[in-house]
């Protein structure tokens, strides 16, 4: 990948709209679901969201809005 | 959903005015109620607010103003 | 309530000047009193302030200035 | 008190220059003294400052500059 | 190295696109992988990311987006 | 002291250049030394700096640059 | 040293490019090395970096980029 085609992190995140991701928060809980939308603070709308603890589903939420400042990292779909 | 119809997280939140949500704070306490209003910091006015601990109602508040920086995530009504 | 009459959280707070509120801080201590004034950081002047621990009065302060970044939520008067 | 005469929290604080206050920090230690000056971050210069722990004087400092982001609340003089 | 050729930290980081790094987060977990891109908040896209605990691989992620405010430090490739 | 001669906290701090202070950090460790310079974040250059733990010298540093966001308060020289 | 020749903390830090420093982070771990560069957030590039725990070398890193918000203080070379 050349430097000219590389995307900024937030741009890449926006390109993953409608794709599946796993979001790990600072409290180590993970949320798996589809990105509906994202803004520059990494505030995320996820649909079909599942809360994972140690990789096991502990709750299903449907649509949630995650506040971006809690995010540790986001695994992109093609890597799940 | 096409990218053009997708809403930014804060816009989506504002579209949920008068709808029921559950707000989970960073301290893991949850508040269930109706969104009266919200601003760009995710400061929220909720009415008919109930404080939930492990899913059980521990207190009823009526109208509260939640400071946005405490928010972990918000579950939207149609998912409750 | 229609969306046009809904007030932003900080505007609502300012409309509660001279009314009684309970402010819960992030450290779980609560302060009950009358809002004298408030600014956009949620810095609050309260008069006739009482410190509550588990709902019991532990101290009376008269007039205090609370720094807004400590606020978890504020219960409005008509709900007390 | 009408809304037009109410003062913003930081303005009120500046009007208390030369008056005695007790400042409680987030670490629950309190500093009693006279406000020499204050800025918009709630950075405070206090003179004749005494450190209080559970209401008891544990140290005397003379003049100190307190960084505002540590402040939990400030009790104003006419209430001490 | 003269001062004129020295690079600012974020510029240096951007020059390491496509190179291998180890990112240590504030929670002491490390992520080893290739920098795909980075922005001014130190938000990072890493590919072929491995999570390391005490230097041992505990999980492989492929492509992740790390939120910059969690970063403690980043070891650059030519030093690995 | 009249309000017109009162100095803002950061101005007062800058006027204490070359004077001895004790800086207490949020982790309760104290640094005693001479202020060489200070900026608006309360970043401080101190010379002849001594680290104090419970008032006892535990280390001597010479010249250090303290990051301002760690500061709890600063005791000014004429009060030491 | 007269006030006119005193340097602001960040300027002083930039003047120490290529000199040896010890950086203590908020987690009390120290990094000893040469400053390659620094920006206004105190983000630092260090080369020949050694991680010190209680003053003992526990790891050698070569070149690292330290995120400035983790810095407690920096000891300048002529004081080591």
Complex prediction ipTM: 0.87
Rg (CA), chain A: 13
Asked whether the beta carbons of residue G39 and residue E12 sit closer than 8 angstroms, the reply is no
pLDDT digits (tens, 9 = 90+) for A42-77: 999 999 999 999 989 999 998 999 999 999 999 997
Asked whether the beta carbons of residue D44 and residue F78 sit closer than 8 angstroms, the reply is no
Residues of B with Cβ-Cβ distance to C8 under 8 angstroms:
37, 39
pLDDT digits (tens, 9 = 90+) for E12-71: 999 999 999 999 999 999 999 999 999 999 999 999 999 999 989 999 998 999 999 999
pLDDT of residue B77: 75
Query: What is chain D's mean pLDDT, rounded?
Result: 89
Reported confidence tier of residue F77, pLDDT bands at 50, 70, 90: confident
pLDDT digits (tens, 9 = 90+) for D47-56: 999 999 998 9
Single out the residue of C49, C47, C39 nearest to residue C69, CA to CA: C39
Give yes or no for B68 touching A (CB within 8 A). yes
Rg (CA), chain G: 13
Single out the residue of A29, A40, A32 nearest to residue A64, CA to CA: A32
| E strand or H helix that includes residue B10 | helix B9-15
Rounded to the nearest 5 percent, the helix, strand and coil shares of chain G are 15, 50, 30
Distance from CA of D5 to the nearest CA of C (A): 10
| Beta-carbon contacts of residue C27 (< 8 Å; ≥ 6 apart) | C70, D26, D72
Q: How far is CA F39 from CA A55, D69, E23, F45, G6, in A?
A: 47, 16, 30, 9, 12
Residues of A with Cβ-Cβ distance to E43 under 8 angstroms:
9-10, 42
Domain boundaries, chain C: 9-79
Assess contact for E22 and E80: CB atoms under 8 A.
Answer: yes
pLDDT of residue C42: 95
Cross-strand partners of B60? B50
Single out the residue of F37, B4, A14, A11 nearest to residue G4, CA to CA: F37
Q: Which one is predicted more confidently, D16 or A6?
A: D16
Report the CATH number of the F9-79 domain: 2.30.30.100
Q: Who among E12, E71, E80 is closest to G45 (CB)?
A: E12
Reported confidence tier of residue G59, pLDDT bands at 50, 70, 90: very high
Q: How is chain C classified by DSSP, letter by letter?
A: --TTT---HHHHHHHTTTSEEEEEETTS-EEEEEEEEE-TT--EEEEEEEEEETTEEEEEEEEEEE-GGGEEEEE-GGG-
pLDDT digits (tens, 9 = 90+) for B32-51: 999 999 999 999 999 999 99
């Amino acid at each position: 990948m050349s430097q000219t085609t590389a995307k900024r992190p937030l741009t890449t995140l926006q390109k993953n709209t409608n794709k599946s991701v796993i979001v790990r928060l600072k409290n180590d809980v993970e949320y798996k679901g589809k990105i509906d939308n994202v803004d520059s603070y990494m505030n995320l709308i996820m649909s079909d969201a599942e809360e994972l603890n140690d990789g096991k589903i502990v709750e299903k939420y449907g649509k949630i809005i995650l506040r971006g400042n809690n995010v540790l990292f986001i695994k992109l779909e093609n890597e799940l």
